[in-house]
Amino acid sequence: MAIKLEIPTALRPFTGKQASIEFEAATVGEALHRLTATFGDLQKHLYTEDGRLRSFVNIYVNDEDIRYLEKENTPIKDGDTISIVPSIAGGSEGPGSDSGRGL
């Protein structure tokens, strides 16, 4: 049995539109490196030039944030699910915005 790595919609164009991929791996880092070795275009979206996981990329193992576990060294076992969740930021103050109304 393997672990399942869930791919967010924004990154699916780089995985042949696959929503999830299964790998054999012992740690989160190993699973992510297998993912980027298989789908090279993901590398720049997940990692900085110096090989560190980008700060706006959140990784969860079975709904647990790896930042509060052992980060990329977090052990995984058969049947675990790893989720990649990119942070979303933005917005605008356009028509209909409550900004400046003193609410």
Q: Can you tell me the mean pLDDT for 34-45?
A: 94
Lowest mean pLDDT among 25-34, 62-71, 73-82, 86-95: 86-95
Regarding beta strands 64-65 and 81-86, do their DSSP bridges make them parallel or antiparallel, or are they unpaired? unpaired
**Domain spans of the chain, in order of start:** 3-86
CATH topology assigned to domain 3-86: Ubiquitin-like (UB roll) (3.10.20)
Give 81-95 pLDDT, tens digit per residue.
Answer: 999 998 876 555 555
pLDDT computed for residue 101 by the predictor: 46
pLDDT computed for residue 74 by the predictor: 97
**What's this model's pTM, rounded to 2 decimal places?**
0.81
pLDDT computed for residue 103 by the predictor: 46
Instruction: Give the three-state DSSP class for 90.
Output: coil
